[in-house]
Amino acid sequence: MSTQRQTSAVDRLWTVEDVSAFLGVPVGTLYQWRHRRFGPPAAKVGRHLRYDPQDVRSWVAEQAA
């Protein structure tokens, strides 16, 4: 029997497209924000940006405060 772990939507990192859809902003805006050191924190994984969903939600809450 294999004990391979299935990655659920809850514990996976979000792509730029995922964050774009969640925030309702274009992907290009997220790249501009990153260049300007604004927006939710992201990590480089290889050549790709990935976002922790909890960090994105926390950033949104900070903006609303």
Task: Please report whether residue 5 resides in a domain.
Answer: no
- Indicate whether 2 belongs to any domain: no
> By residue range, what is the domain housing residue 21?
16-64
| Residue 20, burial from CB neighbour count under 10 angstroms (0-12, 13-18, 19+) | middle
The per-residue pLDDT for range 21-56, each reduced to its tens digit, is 999 999 999 999 999 999 999 999 999 999 999 999
For residue 16, which of 52, 58, 51, 60 has the smallest C-alpha distance? 51
pLDDT digits (tens, 9 = 90+) for 2-26: 445 555 655 799 999 999 999 999 9
Q: For residue 39, count other CB atoms closer than 10 A to its CB.
A: 20
Which tokens sit at 24? Answer: 């309702």
Determine, yes or no, domain membership for 50: yes
Strands (E) located in the chain: 43-45, 48-50
Number of domains in the chain: 1
Domain presence at residue 9: no
pTM, entire model: 0.81
